[in-house]
Structure 1
Amino acid sequence: MDGQIRQVVVLYFITIFSLFSRYNSLEKDPPPPSYNYFEDLVSAGYDPQAYPSYFTTTIDDGHFKYLISQRTQVISQLQKLGVISAPSTKTVNVDDFGATGDATQDTQAFEKAWEEACSSKGEVVLEVPQGKRYQLKPIRFSGPCKSNLTIQIYGSMEASDDMSDYKEDTRHWLIFDSINNLLIEGGGTGKINGNGKIWWQNSCKINKTLPCKDAPTALTFYNSKNLKVQNLNIQDAQQIHVSFEKCNGVQASGLAVAAPESSPNTDGIHITRSQNIWITNSVIGTGDDCISIVSGSKNVQAMDITCGPGHGISIGSLGSKSSKAYVSGVTVDGAKLSGTTNGVRIKTWQGGLGSASNILFQNIEMNNVSNPIIIDQNYCDQDKPCKEQSSAVKVKDVVYKNINGTSASEVAIKFDCSKTHPCQEILLQNVKLQEQGDRTAKAICNNVKLTEKGTVFPQC
């Protein structure tokens, strides 16, 4: 036995040495800089990839993956031989802190369970049990935490519909603040239900006599790194369903987001001041944008997205009230949009500053979408007409590739760009859109510097 242990330990240190050697070689040879979509496609003739990162460069390397696998196997053998012990996992169940799950108020129990889970060391699982309904007032789950935390939402979490419960914070229901390395996963019949009907009825967009006020976002992730959010069922948010704000390194997958088409401002997934965001394999149907990406966002990837009803996938709005706004490195690859008011949209206000650049929309199917492809640098979401202004958020290096389907309106492609800052380096490649009913669609192109490649219809 001693000889076997000695061999395993030697192998362990060899593996660790190999990993560090590989890491040092990566440090000496950093990955290439970000690609320019327009130059890649038009000049070089090959498909672009947005903002290759240090993370993906290392993880995609076959040799590095092999060494990681070796290390895992060695640790497993050492645990079996009793040389090192396997880490233990602590389970924290909200019911153990007084939650009843019978659709009555359970806020205090959740707060106590969170305090226990966050303050514990090591691996911790916070459980929301299946088959129960927990009604909750606004809660801020604050970090940093001492534990590597997993939250399993298998039961339903329902928002209080008493608007007076939100007096202290009208903008959030559930917020996870400053928590790194967090995994949240759903399953079973579990739902996160914003119970938003009372908020929609009191929205100025529904009742024009009421003043416009903020409503809570159902689920907010703020100032956090290395998040995994998977297999959640989120419905009927008071306003936005899921928001990532000031986050870095997010993997969101298997999300099901739903609200009535008539519900106001109920964006599905909202991204602001965040970077390195991956959203995959998700179905979103709401009363506003399926995905909205606004200022300060960089390196956002959305893949395998089903969208509808709603307002489509939007970058913006940007530059309101003469503000500076920057968005770059956005890729939407593989999406199906049905019955939405917009398809893939970039919208900016006159008078703003900054830029939206290095954007790729590809492999997208449109079904009865009112504005399948649209850039609107004259966006104006207010009752009074917006004043014409010379400054604008610049829009450049945008690629539309392999986009097909039908438009619910006659205008399938609309580029309404600024007179003083025209849209630059816009590429349409293999785009074919017909008006619903096989009628001929048309394109409107104002103040845009455009290149067309392959089959493009309708043309400017």
Structure 2
Amino acid sequence: MASSLHMMGALALGISCLIIVNAMDAAGDQRRRLLQAETVFDITQHGAKGDGTTDDAMSLIQAWKAGCEGTGAARILVPPGKFMMGEVVLRGPCKAAPPMIIDIQGTLLANPNPSAYSNLMWILIEHVDNVKITGGGTLNAQGPTAWKFAKEDQHMPVSFTFQSSQNGDISNLNLVDAMGFHSKLIDSINIKVTKLTITAPDESPNTDGIHLSNATNVEITDSTIGTGDDCISIGTGSKNILVKNIKCGPGHGLAVGSLGKRPDELSVGNITFSGCTLTGTTNGARIKSYHKSPVLTATNIVFEDLTLDSVKNPIIIDQHYFSKLVSEESNVKISDVHFRRIKGTTISEIPIMLNCSKTVPCENIELADIDLKPVGPAKSVSSACQSAVGIKPSGTVIPAPPQC
């Protein structure tokens, strides 16, 4: 009996030690910051005027450099006020104790001249691991003066680009009136994005809210996005993506793609959109690819628990995206796609459209518990498809699943 009690006590002690060690690991970064007094690098102490007209970009760059090259905990502060800035590049790696914090409390105003951005990026953060970007402030790119120059082959500067970095945390920011895309996450791993508000008029061209390219292990949650293009678009090489609790509209909806426009693109997969609300958008749940694409796969994609209000194309796979001038079909193989528990209203009489490639037909498309009612110009609803095999309906599906 004594031996059993001794063994149980040792086991309990071992579990307690394990819990303590795990808790210490989880809190490690914060503890290191507490042990090393945080230094605040205020951009006004590096010459920023904050008058809304003087270019304060160099002040932010200098504050960043001072904090990044130090060995203690660093906070780069943009205090309340209006700071006009042209092109800003914040580059690592940093020596500072993690996490490096960028605290944007004020408003950054972009130089409204698109030609001022040599890399077509306004604010670029690259090669910086363990960074936290927050503060409740605003990035206003003053896009209306640039939108008239936007064309399919003439892209405008991206407001915020997070590139070639890992373990990033982006939260509590407002992005307004981007010239081009509002934000891009590129070649990055383990990124959390939450509580963003992204706003631009419905007619603003190519102003996607958040675009992912070669991004892995990304969570985008609890944000409100209304733009002139996709609220969120998942591009080449992106895997293990969760998009949850997004309010989208106006805009073009939630998209995987477009895929296959360029010859060096990579496959995508393990992507989930969950618990989102779309209001007045052109599309709801969309997957899109170009004709004459490289051989790619787009697999294990889930759209679930979506609520739609007056959405034009609630459920759409379009493998003929922007392809009127190219006859060759798409080579993007789309499979294991799940549309689950999608309900609401549509202004289209064909709210379920599966328009797949004749070369590589879509496979294993689930339609489960769909309830789409017509409003406005739509008097009735039906489904349509081309080159889709293995459509799997379950529960109530309104309109009835398409017959290919």
| Pair 1:436-2:382 in alignment | no
Q: Which residue of 1 aligns with 2:333?
A: 394
Aligned residue for 2:276, secondary structure, equals: strand
The 2-side partners of 1:458 and 1:399 are apart by: 16
| Correspondent of 1:157 among 105, 108, 117 | 108
Q: CA deviation at 1:430?
A: 0.4
Q: Is the Cα–Cα contact under 8 Å of residues 307 and 337 in structure 1 kept in the other structure?
A: yes
The 2-side partners of 1:447 and 1:368 are apart by: 28
The 2-side partners of 1:322 and 1:70 are apart by: 46
Any residues of structure 2 matched to 1:156-235 within 5 Å, and which? 156-166=107-117, 168-169=118-119, 171-187=120-136, 190-204=137-151, 212-235=153-176
Q: Is the Cα–Cα contact under 8 Å of residues 320 and 330 in structure 2 kept in the other structure?
A: no
Q: Which residue of 2 aligns with 1:447?
A: 387
| Correspondent of 2:317 among 375, 380, 383 | 375
The 2-side partners of 1:346 and 1:108 are apart by: 41
Q: Write the deviation string for residues 171-194 of structure 1: whole angstroms up to 9, x where unpaired.
A: 10100010000000022xx21111
Q: Write the deviation string for residues 388-432 of structure 1: whole angstroms up to 9, x where unpaired.
A: 225510000000110001111111100001122110000001011
Structure 1 runs (4+) deviating above 6 angstroms are 14-17, 70-76
**Equivalent position amino acid for 1:349 in 2:** Y
Q: Which runs of 5+ in 2 are unaligned?
A: 1-12
The 1-side partners of 2:88 and 2:330 are apart by: 41
Q: Which residue of 2 aligns with 1:274?
A: 215
Going from structure 1 to structure 2, the CA distance change for 1:137 and 1:393 (only over 3 Å counts) comes to: same
Aligned residue for 1:411, secondary structure, equals: coil
Q: CA deviation at 1:73?
A: 9.9
**Equivalent position amino acid for 2:202 in 1:** E
Q: Is the Cα–Cα contact under 8 Å of residues 239 and 270 in structure 2 kept in the other structure?
A: yes
Q: Which residue of 1 aligns with 2:303?
A: 361
Q: CA deviation at 1:72?
A: 8.4
**Equivalent position amino acid for 1:263 in 2:** S
Aligned residue for 1:343, secondary structure, equals: strand
Going from structure 1 to structure 2, the CA distance change for 1:390 and 1:340 (only over 3 Å counts) comes to: closer
Q: Write the deviation string for residues 159-216 of structure 1: whole angstroms up to 9, x where unpaired.
A: 00133422x32x10100010000000022xx2111111121011237xxxxxx31211
RMSD (CA atoms): 2.4
Q: Which residue of 2 aligns with 1:108?
A: 58
Q: Matched residue pairs, number?
A: 382
The 1-side partners of 2:58 and 2:247 are apart by: 37
Q: Is the Cα–Cα contact under 8 Å of residues 290 and 330 in structure 2 kept in the other structure?
A: no
Q: Which residue of 2 aligns with 1:95?
A: 44
Aligned residue for 2:205, secondary structure, equals: coil
Q: CA deviation at 1:68?
A: 3.5
Q: CA deviation at 1:15?
A: 8.3
Q: CA deviation at 1:344?
A: 0.8
Q: Which runs of 5+ in 1 are unaligned?
A: 1-13, 20-63, 80-84, 206-211
Going from structure 1 to structure 2, the CA distance change for 1:16 and 1:198 (only over 3 Å counts) comes to: farther
> If the length of structure 1 is used for normalisation, what is the TM-score?
0.79
The 2-side partners of 1:283 and 1:220 are apart by: 19
Any residues of structure 2 matched to 1:34-45 within 5 Å, and which? none
Q: Write the deviation string for residues 17-51 of structure 1: whole angstroms up to 9, x where unpaired.
A: 944xxxxxxxxxxxxxxxxxxxxxxxxxxxxxxxx
Identical-residue share of aligned pairs (%): 35
Q: CA deviation at 1:377?
A: 1.0
| Correspondent of 1:326 among 229, 246, 267 | 267
Going from structure 1 to structure 2, the CA distance change for 1:162 and 1:16 (only over 3 Å counts) comes to: farther
Q: Which residue of 2 aligns with 1:136?
A: 85
Q: Is the Cα–Cα contact under 8 Å of residues 391 and 420 in structure 1 kept in the other structure?
A: yes
The 2-side partners of 1:314 and 1:72 are apart by: 34
**Equivalent position amino acid for 2:332 in 1:** V
Higher strand share goes to which structure? 2
Aligned residue for 1:284, secondary structure, equals: strand
Q: Is the Cα–Cα contact under 8 Å of residues 107 and 140 in structure 2 kept in the other structure?
A: yes
Q: Is the Cα–Cα contact under 8 Å of residues 377 and 392 in structure 1 kept in the other structure?
A: no
